[in-house]
């Protein structure tokens, strides 16, 4: 029967396909590793003795990343908030005030121009623009430049600080500023996605502005914001590798590079460094992907920059 | 003109078509009704080979078309299809939507194709919307462009998959009117729909389909007022109220 | 990722385009002028000090900018070609095609680009027969590796673009009698590419910034040469504030480059935008 033959054929093709896929994948990877290993040699003893040192260096990376991440979150949240708050257009503010003024000819005495409101509007607007400028600069310039900039500042103002500490502070400073900029994007999108209409609805059932924020907007925004924030952490971990330009802090990349040059075990160093990064980043990314897919609401989400920025 | 014999289709463990027989003559309008999940859409898509039947035969003018050696594209040129979600090409204007098939598939001269395209758009009442993009058109207008697009290929028959189900009520009439005028001009049509008014007035025969099989077949007034099968009666009473 | 800008917002953006760009340009000009004033007056940095620019400008700055542009010119086309091909290929139903490619993408997305640069320059030449070896081969291999790196990210972008085109479009095209190839060419591809442009703009900006990574292996790009200059000239001559002027200038150049690319692609997006077509996440 045509149907049975058809399904049978399809199943056979699938099995063949899967086997071929495994062969090709493993084969290609093995071939590549082999070619590289031949030239440089593969010293297993080196790997088994020094992997602990690599892990310690990885610890430093994680430490730097985590510190910068949470400081950056503070900055990011504040900036994100500032950039997401919607201001009434200036024209409307004046219009509303005009009507109040005209209607109050018989009652209180508001001034002719809503000076206070305009000033407040101006302040809000410029705070927002400055925040925008900050984020634009962070996103528009390489992290390398940001790190060097921070490092130059620290060296200039604290020339007698211990070299490693200088590097450490410079790195954390730059990474904090950097992740702060990117996280502000995440928070801004999260807050403004939820904001529309929800504040009115919350006030309508009697919540104050703060109450609405706490009980309605923030819980929803939190849910939206967690996957991209997790990705941002991973991205920051990868970005922390750029501290190699400072040289004094022994995070994973600096350590791996140094080892490669000192011991000439280039391939092994590469394998260890790459392996450790992959071990951390890939599982976390996969988990986040799965969570995002499960809880995705079509049309609702936070735009995410590619996490590894330089 | 189109005949389907003992059509079988499974999706994994789901047996969607359990041996469907169908026949429609040239110039005839056949309406297929039935509850959702009964396999109506799958049936239509097997006829123009968008879906590959597992078993059974699909015959177009006596020629079996569901076999290797027949080019699917050739079959689909002969049988046009109109979709529930219109599926207009969003990056092209209405006229471009209509002329894409003739120019790219048939190699028609673009000027002639445009002329014919405008004529077709006029036929469905949208002569003035030739340069509009789908996003600028209402649902009813989009569906009428979709009909013009299918007609541009000069098909021998047309398949309609719930053409008005995605429309706001005020637009249903205009689409059904176009379809009725097509029927009047002698187009062979198989229409899956819930619009009973259309079915009663325009269809020559109605097929009631449920759970992958044709349960009953007959003239509109028989199916609606004197159904023979119990399931038909249950479904019709729900629809007609 | 899901874009939050829907078609309605796009439409209103269309209308205000010229005004908006003008306003933004004006704002940036004012900001720049303010910034310069702060630097000159408050911090007392003499920005246009001719000594500084005399030393830094002709060789380091100019060569650096040219170098960076050169690497950009190599990496961008290559990465787009790789990204598009891989993105397309990953749509295949054949696992023998998709699995190796997924490994490729996951690898390059999980490893920091600087590692890729460093080790490509060290290990890369081993993959090339000896007669092609030159002192710049390491840098070339690193540039190629960066192309593969960005290509991995771009493949995700293009793949998302393809998958965002509603399947009904393909059905409709086929129902008109188009072959798979024709449907791809005239219906799916035009829409998929339009959808891919905004995230692509972002990614290309990242590529521009990533070229600075090549400096660590000695490439003569803007970052590398500026680094060399500041370390030599500044710590020698004790004019510490030169450092800040140089790095500000460097930051400005990169900013202009990334801004130009994103604005250019945004213009392309506005020009060819299809109303009613929105991107969905991959």
Q: What is the pLDDT of residue C281?
A: 45
The predicted-structure confidence for A19-75, as pLDDT tens digits, reads as follows 888 999 999 988 888 877 776 677 777 778 888 889 999 999 999 999 999 999 999
Which residue of C29, C114, C142, C277 to mutate against A (max A Cβ within 10 Å)?
C114
Name the band, by pLDDT with cuts 50, 70 and 90, for residue C45.
low
> Among residues C213, C143, C198, C139, which one has the least CA distance to residue C6?
C198
Q: Give me the sign of the Cα torsion angle C155, C159, C161, C162.
A: positive
Which residue of C8, C177, C279 to mutate against B (max B Cβ within 10 Å)?
C177
Q: Which residue of A has its CA nearest to B68?
A: A2
Higher pLDDT, A126 or C188: C188
Residue C16 has pLDDT above 80, yes or no: no
Q: Is B54 on the interface with A (CB under 8 A)?
A: yes
Q: What is the pLDDT of residue C17?
A: 57
> Residue A7: its chain B contacts at CB < 8 A?
10, 54
- Give the whole-number percent of chain B exceeding pLDDT 70: 100
Q: Which residues contact B148 (CB under 8 A, 6 or more apart)?
A: B94, B98, B117, B120, B121, B123, B124, B126
- Cα dist from C36 to A250, C45, C253, C261, whole Å: 37, 9, 15, 24
Higher pLDDT, B231 or C113: C113
Q: Is A7 on the interface with B (CB under 8 A)?
A: yes
> Backbone dihedral region of C277: left (phi > 0), alpha (psi from -120 to 50 degrees) or beta?
beta
Q: Is A6 on the interface with B (CB under 8 A)?
A: yes
Query: Digits of tens for pLDDT over chain A (310 positions)?
Result: 455 566 677 788 888 888 888 999 999 988 888 877 776 677 777 778 888 889 999 999 999 999 999 999 999 999 988 887 766 666 676 777 777 766 665 555 556 666 777 777 778 888 888 888 899 999 999 999 999 999 988 888 888 888 888 889 999 999 999 999 999 999 888 887 776 667 677 777 777 767 777 777 777 777 788 888 999 999 999 999 999 988 888 899 999 999 888 888 888 888 889 999 999 999 999 998 888 777 665 544 444 555 434 3
Q: Is B5 on the interface with A (CB under 8 A)?
A: no
- Crossing angle for the helix pair C137-164 and C64-89, to the nearest 10 degrees: 40
- Crossing angle for the helix pair C222-229 and C64-89, to the nearest 10 degrees: 150
Give all chains having 3 or more CB-to-CB distances under 8 Å with chain B. Answer: A, C
CB contact under 8 A, C244 and A152: yes
3-state secondary structure chain A: CHHHHHHHHHHHHHHHHHHHHHHHHHHHHHHHHHHHHHHHCCCHHHHHHHHHHHHHHHHHHHHHHHHHHHHHHHHHHHHHHHHHCCCCCHHHHHHHHHHHHHHHHHCCCCCCCCHHHHHHHHHHHHHHHHHHHHHHHHHHCCHHHHHHHHHHHHHHHCCCCCHHHHHHHHHHHHHHHHHHHHHHHHHHHHHHHHHHHHHHHHHHCCCCHHHHHHHHHHHHHHHHHHHHHHHHHHHHHHHHHHHHHCCCCCCHHHHHHHHHHHHCCHHHHHHHHHHHHHHHHHHHHHHHHHHHHHCCECCECCCCCCCCCC
Segment (H or E) for B55: strand B55-60
Distance from CA of B220 to the nearest CA of C (A): 29
* Number of Cβ pairs < 8 A linking chain A and chain C: 174
Separation CA A110–CA A117 (nearest Å):
12
> Residue A6: its chain B contacts at CB < 8 A?
52, 54
Q: What is the pLDDT of residue A14?
A: 86
Average pLDDT over chain C, rounded to an integer: 83
CB contact under 8 A, A278 and C230: no
CB contact under 8 A, C175 and B85: no
Phi, psi of C19 (to 5 degrees): -60, -45
Q: Please, are residues B141 and B129 in contact by the beta-carbon 8 Å criterion? A: yes
The predicted-structure confidence for C236-264, as pLDDT tens digits, reads as follows 666 677 788 888 889 989 999 999 999 89
* Joined tokens for residue B24: 């429609």
Q: What is the pLDDT of residue A309?
A: 41
Buried/exposed code over A72-102 (b: 16+ C-beta within 10 A; e: otherwise): bbebbbebbbbbbeeeeeeeebbeebeeebe
Q: Which residue of A has its CA nearest to C115?
A: A253
> Among residues B166, B155, B210, B186, which one has the least CA distance to residue B33?
B210
Reduce the DSSP state of residue C66 to 3 states and report it.
helix
Q: Is B149 on the interface with C (CB under 8 A)?
A: yes
Chain B residues 127-146 with a CB less than 8 Å from chain C:
133-136, 146
CB contact under 8 A, C175 and B105: no
Residue C117 has pLDDT above 90, yes or no: yes
Separation CA A251–CA A61 (nearest Å):
5
The predicted-structure confidence for C267-282, as pLDDT tens digits, reads as follows 888 888 876 666 654 3
Distance from CA of B53 to the nearest CA of A (A): 8
Beta strand pairing status for B157-161 and B79-82? Answer: parallel
Q: Is A52 on the interface with B (CB under 8 A)?
A: no
Phi, psi of B128 (to 5 degrees): -80, -5
Q: Could you report the predicted ipTM of this complex, rounded to two decimals?
A: 0.87
- Provide the greatest CA pair distance for chain A: 94
CB contact under 8 A, C186 and B81: no
Q: What is the pLDDT of residue C170?
A: 92
Q: Considering only A291-300, B162-171, C25-34, C251-260, which range has the smallest mean pLDDT? A: A291-300
Name the band, by pLDDT with cuts 50, 70 and 90, for residue C6.
very low
Q: What is the dihedral of CA C222, C225, C231, C232, to 10 degrees?
A: -140
Bridge partners, B192 (sequence order)? B32, B161
């Amino acid at each position: 029967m045509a149907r049975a033959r058809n399904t049978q054929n399809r199943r056979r093709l699938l099995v063949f396909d899967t086997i071929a896929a495994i062969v090709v994948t493993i084969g290609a990877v093995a071939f590549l590793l082999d070619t590289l290993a031949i030239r440089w040699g593969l010293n297993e003893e080196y790997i088994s003795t020094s992997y602990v040192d690599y892990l310690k260096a990885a610890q430093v990376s994680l430490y730097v990343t985590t510190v910068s991440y949470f400081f950056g979150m503070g900055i990011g949240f504040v900036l994100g908030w500032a950039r997401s708050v919607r201001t009434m257009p200036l024209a409307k503010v004046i219009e509303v005030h005009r009507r109040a003024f005209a209607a109050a000819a018989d009652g209180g005495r508001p001034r002719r121009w809503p000076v206070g409101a305009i000033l407040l509007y101006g302040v809000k607007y410029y705070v927002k623009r400055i925040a925008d400028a900050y984020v634009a600069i962070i996103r528009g310039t390489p992290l390398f430049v940001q790190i060097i900039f921070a490092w130059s500042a620290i060296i200039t103002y604290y020339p007698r600080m211990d070299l490693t500490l200088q590097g450490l502070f410079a790195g954390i400073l730059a990474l904090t500023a950097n992740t702060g900029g990117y996280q502000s994007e995440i928070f801004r999108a999260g807050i403004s996605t939820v904001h529309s209409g929800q504040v009115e609805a919350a006030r309508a059932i009697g919540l104050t502005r703060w109450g609405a924020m706490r009980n309605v907007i923030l819980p929803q925004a939190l849910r939206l914001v967690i996957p991209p924030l997790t990705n941002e952490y991973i991205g920051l971990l990868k970005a922390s590798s750029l501290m190699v330009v400072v040289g004094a802090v022994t995070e994973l990349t600096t350590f791996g590079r140094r080892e490669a040059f000192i011991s000439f075990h280039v391939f092994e160093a590469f394998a260890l460094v790459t392996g450790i990064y992959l071990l951390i980043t890939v599982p976390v990314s996969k988990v986040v992907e799965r969570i995002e897919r499960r809880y995705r609401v079509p049309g609702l989400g936070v735009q995410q920059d590619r996490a590894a920025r330089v | 003109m189109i005949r389907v014999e003992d059509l079988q289709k499974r999706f994994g463990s789901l047996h969607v078509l359990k041996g469907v027989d169908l026949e429609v003559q040239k110039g005839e309008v056949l309406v297929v009704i039935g509850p959702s999940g009964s396999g109506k859409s799958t049936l239509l898509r097997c006829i123009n080979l968008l879906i590959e039947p597992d078993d059974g035969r699909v015959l177009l003018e006596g020629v079996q078309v569901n076999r290797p050696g027949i080019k699917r594209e050739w079959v689909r040129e002969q049988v046009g299809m109109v979709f529930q979600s219109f599926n207009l090409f969003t990056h092209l204007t209405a006229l471009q939507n209509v002329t894409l098939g003739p120019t790219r598939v048939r190699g028609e001269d673009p000027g002639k194709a445009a002329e014919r395209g405008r004529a077709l758009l006029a036929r469905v009442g949208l002569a003035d919307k030739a340069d509009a993009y789908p996003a600028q058109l209402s649902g009813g207008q989009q569906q009428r462009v979709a009909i013009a697009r299918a007609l541009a290929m000069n098909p021998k028959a047309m398949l309609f998959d719930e053409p008005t189900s995605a429309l706001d009520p005020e637009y249903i009439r205009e689409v059904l009117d176009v379809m009725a005028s097509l029927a009047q001009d002698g187009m062979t049509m198989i229409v899956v729909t819930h619009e009973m008014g259309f079915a009663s007035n325009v269809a020559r025969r109605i097929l009631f389909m449920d759970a992958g099989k044709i349960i009953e077949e007959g003239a509109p007034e028989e199916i609606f007022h004197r159904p023979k099968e119990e399931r038909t009666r249950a479904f019709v009473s729900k629809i007609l109220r | 990722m899901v874009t939050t800008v829907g078609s309605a917002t796009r439409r209103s953006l269309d209308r205000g385009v010229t005004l908006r760009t003008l306003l933004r340009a004006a704002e940036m000009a004012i900001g720049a002028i303010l910034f310069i004033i702060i630097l000159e007056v408050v911090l007392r940095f003499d920005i246009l000090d001719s000594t500084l620019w005399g030393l830094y400008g002709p060789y380091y700055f100019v060569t650096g900018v040219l170098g960076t542009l050169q690497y950009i010119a190599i990496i961008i086309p290559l990465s787009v070609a790789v990204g598009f091909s891989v993105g397309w290929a990953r749509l295949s139903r054949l696992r023998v095609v998709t699995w190796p490619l997924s490994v490729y993408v996951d690898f390059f997305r999980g490893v920091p680009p600087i590692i890729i640069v460093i080790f490509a320059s060290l290990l890369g030449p081993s993959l090339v027969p000896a007669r092609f070896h030159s002192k710049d081969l390491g840098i070339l291999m690193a540039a190629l590796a960066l192309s593969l790196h960005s290509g991995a990210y771009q493949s995700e972008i293009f793949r998302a673009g393809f998958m965002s085109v509603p399947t009904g479009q393909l059905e409709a095209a086929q129902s008109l009698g188009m072959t798979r190839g024709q449907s791809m060419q005239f219906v799916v591809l035009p829409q998929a590419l339009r959808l891919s442009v905004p995230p692509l703009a972002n990614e290309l900006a990242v590529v521009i910034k990533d070229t600075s990574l090549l400096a660590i292996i000695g490439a003569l790009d803007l970052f590398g040469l500026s680094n060399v200059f500041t370390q030599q000239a500044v710590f020698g001559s004790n004019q510490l504030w030169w450092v800040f002027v140089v790095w500000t200038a460097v930051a400005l150049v990169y900013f202009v480059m990334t801004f130009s690319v994103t604005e250019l692609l945004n213009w392309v997006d506005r020009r060819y935008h299809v109303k009613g077509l929105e991107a969905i996440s991959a």
